[in-house]
Amino acid sequence: MTAHKLIRMGSAFHINYVNFTDGRLLGFELRCEQCQTPYWLEEHHYPHFTAERLPLDQLIRETHPDYHQRFAQVLALSQKARTEPMQLMAEERHFLMASALVALSYKWERHESGTRARLALCWQASIGLLFAGAVYAVAEAHAEPLTWTLAGIMAGSALLITTGLRRWARQQYLRRHIYPALARSMAPLQLPVSELQQVLRELREDGYELASVLDETSLLHEADRYLQLSPIHGINA
């Protein structure tokens, strides 16, 4: 277990990003103090908050006193995965793997949202470049057809490069931030390929974008590598 920072997320009227009200509550973001992974919550169950960095036991008593009772089954299952992974039932492995994927889905979707916004700006710049070339060709009465061709080539190249960079950046983000986190959860489970495929299929049907972009082979390879390198395994809660 690790401490988390609770952040209120809302939609408010602002001018140049200066808010004048608290706005409409959208939900809450939990951010792990250890790995900085964000998690999305529709509502929270913390009766109290503290800005101090307290010992974990004291932090639980003050901010979430019913934590152990409320999550007793999940905590017991996580403990079983750490100490007796070979005793896990198929449905227990399924639950733990699905939980890890769902928890990381918010991080992935937030990253993709920012990437799409930046990509839209690049596309707008490419279209603007093509438009500028067209305006120049029209303005210059004696402009050669080469002007149109060059403008088209430049705009097309910009679009292709942007799209290629997005695909490369997506794979790099998965490799650096998603696969390692999932591997820490998968390693002690010794999840068969068929069970992993079932989990991914169900999450795809439920609309989780992360499940649609994961490569099963890469994920299993990362889990095997983590299993070989780490003598101690545990569920990444």
Q: Could you tell me the residue range of the domain that residue 1 belongs to?
A: 1-70
Q: Could you tell me if 114 and 93 are in contact, meaning their C-beta atoms sit under 8 angstroms apart?
A: no
The token pair that represents 87 in the structure block = 């005793």
Residues 66 and 93 both lie in one domain: no
Domain end residue (candidates: 41, 70, 99): 70
**pLDDT at residue number 201:** 92
Question: How crowded is residue 53: how many other Cβ atoms within 10 Å of its Cβ?
Answer: 8
The token pair that represents 79 in the structure block = 């403990």
Residues 98 and 52 both lie in one domain: no
Residues 121 and 63 both lie in one domain: no
**pLDDT at residue number 232:** 45
Domain end residue (candidates: 70, 97, 117): 70
Of the candidates 109, 110, 216, 112, the one whose C-alpha atom is nearest the C-alpha of residue 166 is 112
Residue 75 resides in a domain: no
Residue with tokens 């120049």: 136
Number of domains in the chain: 2
Residues 96 and 132 both lie in one domain: yes
Each residue's pLDDT, cut to its tens digit, for the chain (237 residues) gives 677 788 877 776 666 556 666 667 777 888 877 777 887 776 667 777 787 788 888 888 888 888 888 888 888 888 888 888 888 888 998 999 998 898 888 888 888 877 665 666 666 666 666 666 666 655 655 555 655 566 667 666 766 776 777 778 788 888 888 888 888 888 888 778 888 889 999 999 999 988 888 888 888 888 888 877 765 444 333
Q: Measured at the alpha carbon of residue 41, what is the angle toward residues 18 and 75, in degrees to the nearest 5?
A: 145
Residues 103 and 62 both lie in one domain: no
Residues 132 and 199 both lie in one domain: yes
Q: Measured at the alpha carbon of residue 220, what is the angle toward residues 71 and 184, in degrees to the nearest 5?
A: 35
Residues 62 and 1 both lie in one domain: yes
**pLDDT at residue number 126:** 62
